[in-house]
Amino acid sequence: MTLYGGGAALNMANGVREFAQSCPDRAAVVDGSRTLTYRALDDRANRLACALLDCGLSPGDPVAVLLPNCLEFPEIATGLARAGLPMVPLDPRQTAAETEWIVRHSGARALVLDDALAGLAAGVADVAAPGGGSAGVDVVLSLRGTTAGPAYEGVLAGARAVDPHVPVGDLDIFGIQYTSGTTGNPKGVLVTHRSRVLQAYLAALEWGLGAGRASIAVAPMYHGAGFLFGFAPVLTGGTVSMLPRWDPEEMLAMTERVGAQSVFLVPTHAQTIRALGEDVLGRHDLSTLDTLYFNVAALPVALKQWVMDAFPKCGVHELYGSTEAGVVTNLRPEHAAGKWGSVGHAWYMTEVRLVGDDGLPVGPGEPGELFSRSPFLMQGYLGDPAATTACTTDDGFLTCGDIAVADDEGFLSIVDRKKDMIISGGVDIYPREIEEAVATHPAVAEAAVVGAPDETWGERIVAYVVLRPGGVLDATALDEYLRPRVASYKLPRELHLIDALPRNAAGKVLKRALQNSGQKA
Task: Provide the CATH number for the domain around residue 232.
Answer: 3.40.50.12780
The residue among 191, 225, 258 that closes a domain is: 191
The residue among 393, 418, 443 that closes a domain is: 418
Residue 378 belongs to some domain of the structure: yes
pTM equals 0.84
C-beta separation of 163 from 82 below 8 A? yes
Q: How many domains are there within the chain? A: 3
**What stretches of 151-238 adopt beta strand conformation (E)?**
173-178, 188-192, 214-217
The pLDDT score that the predictor gives to residue 518 is: 55
Which residue positions in the chain have pLDDT lower than 50? 127-135, 182-183, 520-521
Q: Which of 214, 297, 227 is nearest to 263 (CA)?
A: 214
The pLDDT score that the predictor gives to residue 378 is: 97
The pLDDT score that the predictor gives to residue 508 is: 79
Which class for 183: exposed (0-12), middle (13-18), buried (19 or more C-beta within 10 A)? exposed
The pLDDT score that the predictor gives to residue 132 is: 34
How many Cα neighbours within 13 Å face the side chain of 395? Answer: 5
The pLDDT score that the predictor gives to residue 4 is: 52
366 lies in the same domain as 426: no
The pLDDT score that the predictor gives to residue 3 is: 52
Q: Which of 328, 121, 123 is nearest to 224 (CA)?
A: 328
The pLDDT score that the predictor gives to residue 453 is: 86
368 lies in the same domain as 227: yes
Could you report the per-residue pLDDT of 92-135, keeping only the tens digit for each? 988 888 899 899 999 999 999 999 999 998 888 754 333 333 34
**What stretches of 160-314 adopt beta strand conformation (E)?**
173-178, 188-192, 214-217, 239-242, 262-265, 291-294
Residue 167 belongs to some domain of the structure: yes
Q: Cα-atom radius of gyration of the chain, to the nearest Å?
A: 23
Which class for 493: exposed (0-12), middle (13-18), buried (19 or more C-beta within 10 A)? middle
265 lies in the same domain as 307: yes
Question: Tell me, what CATH number does 484's domain have?
Answer: 3.30.300.30
The residue among 136, 159, 191 that closes a domain is: 191
The pLDDT score that the predictor gives to residue 504 is: 76
410 lies in the same domain as 477: no
Residue 209 belongs to some domain of the structure: no
- C-alpha span between 41 and 38 (Å, rounded): 5
400 lies in the same domain as 439: no
Residue ranges of alpha helices (H) inside 55-180 are 72-83, 96-106, 152-157
The pLDDT score that the predictor gives to residue 125 is: 74
The pLDDT score that the predictor gives to residue 204 is: 97
The pLDDT score that the predictor gives to residue 433 is: 84
Provide the 8-state DSSP code for 151.
B
Residue 308 domain boundaries? 214-418
Residue 140 belongs to some domain of the structure: yes
Residue 234 belongs to some domain of the structure: yes
407 lies in the same domain as 432: no
Residue 77 belongs to some domain of the structure: yes
- C-alpha span between 75 and 287 (Å, rounded): 30
221 lies in the same domain as 112: no
The pLDDT score that the predictor gives to residue 2 is: 52
Residue 11 belongs to some domain of the structure: no
Residue 8 belongs to some domain of the structure: no
407 lies in the same domain as 428: no
